[in-house]
Amino acid sequence: MITASHNPPQYNGIKFKGPYGGPFLTEETHKIESLLDKDEAKLSEVNVFLVDFTQGYIKQVERLVDFNAVRIAGINILIDSMAGAGQRIIEDLLRKNNCSSKTIFETAQSDFASRQPEPIEKNLKPLSKELKESGLYSFGIATDGDADRVGILMDNGEWLSAQETILYLADFLVNQKSISGGLVKTSSVSDKLIKVAKKAGRPLFNVQVGFKYICEKMITEDIAFGAEESGGYGYKGHMPERDGILSGLLVAEMLSVSGYRKLSDFVNHKRREFGPIYYNRIDLEYHNSNRIDLLPILYAKKFDRIGGEKITGVQTFLSSREIINGLKYTFEGDARWLLIRASETEPLLRFYAEGSSDRDVSHLLELGTNITKIG
């Protein structure tokens, strides 16, 4: 797959996919890496074929989404394809099934219309502006450059965080849509999913950050839903890969069967049910030579407390080279944790935290930066 994904166009590169439809796993990736620069690149058209997969994909999505529910609900959806590969696919599917929608930036452009095609709040100002000013739509869907990630805005133009989107989709899929199987999430996703899994009697797997680790669980376990905090979600009965188009349409179905017609009303209801999610992430430059060794050193210290906070659990996550590059501490309380990750490619340490308030999250992030100084 040739794509810059959600990155600027100059990052254009190659993603490798396996016969199961998801990203290459670690072993296959190592094989590819071992072949790099072994032979001179050659131009050939002998084994290049033009094949249109669109119709097969549309039939698959229509099998997975209840468009009748969306039609009956009468919701109206604004779509931002971010001048990427999503184009008008969502709108065409909705209109084919007599559902209302409109797409902005529907034409794919090599520079993504001079915008970074990552569907996060700061990049979705045009979508937010039209939602807010028009008052015509139930919510907004944005897909990234290659349409595998999704960003959701409410009818009032406000951003719905990926953490909340994941929580509500998981609850909908297992408790209303009754899709069998467990849940898998990257370690940086809200631990409020634990309650969803327990309520439904489903296993919940925590994996290393990176969708290939979700994919691995989806092809080895019975999984209903897999999610990462960057807006990439995978579904049982589809493929073990992210799909922003299907994700946006499932949010439309979720809203349609809820009895609400505006996503903001639905979200207010769910926040009363689950409580708010308090979460943040910071990336800090770290130029010391021990960056790769830092987390193994911290793990070896076997802390039982950090800054007065009692640790109730510790999880380690290994890099492709079998070195600890993720360390997650769980603390007393409901969904309180700190995750520290060391970048293998950049001089960065990444800190993620969920807590009982914004202030609590800031406190946990501060604890993380402090113990890395100890390390």
- Cα–Cα distance between 229 and 302 in angstroms, integer? 28
* End-to-end Cα spacing for the chain: 40
DSSP string covering 62-86, please? HHHS-HHHHHHHT-EEEEE-TTSTT
pLDDT at 208: 93
pLDDT tops 90 at residue 339 = yes
DSSP string covering 332-346, please? SSSS-EEEEEE-SSS
Please list, residue by residue across 352-371, b when 16 or more beta carbons sit within 10 angstroms of its beta carbon and e when fewer do: bbbbbeeebbebbbebbeeb
Cα-based torsion angle of the residue sequence 65, 192, 210, 283 in order, rounded to the nearest 10 degrees: 130
**177 phi, psi to nearest 5 deg:** -80, -15
**163 phi, psi to nearest 5 deg:** -60, -45
Show contacts of 243-247: CB within 8 Å, 24+ apart.
Answer: 243/147, 243/148, 244/86, 244/119, 244/143, 244/144, 244/147, 244/148, 244/149, 244/150, 245/61, 245/86, 245/89, 245/90, 245/93, 245/143, 245/147, 245/150, 246/61, 246/64, 246/65, 247/150, 247/169
**296 phi, psi to nearest 5 deg:** -60, -35
pLDDT tops 80 at residue 203 = yes
pLDDT tens digits, 342-364: 987 788 999 999 999 999 999 99
pLDDT tens digits, 212-230: 999 999 999 999 999 999 9
pLDDT tens digits, 168-200: 999 999 999 999 999 999 999 999 999 999 999
pLDDT tops 60 at residue 248 = yes
The helix, strand and coil proportions of the chain, stated in percent and rounded to the nearest 5, come to 35, 25, 40
Residue whose tokens read 């779509």: 79
pLDDT tens digits, 40-50: 888 888 988 99
Strand-pairing partners, residue 150, are 143
Kindly state the DSSP code that residue 269 receives in the 8-state scheme: H
With cut-offs at 50, 70 and 90, classify the pLDDT of residue 374.
low
pLDDT tens digits, 76-131: 999 999 999 999 999 999 999 999 999 999 999 999 999 999 999 999 999 999 99
- Cα–Cα distance between 290 and 293 in angstroms, integer? 5
* Domains detected in the chain: 54-274 (3.40.120.10), 278-374 (3.30.310.50)
- Cα–Cα distance between 293 and 319 in angstroms, integer? 12
Does pTM surpass 0.75? yes
Mean pLDDT on 136-142: 98
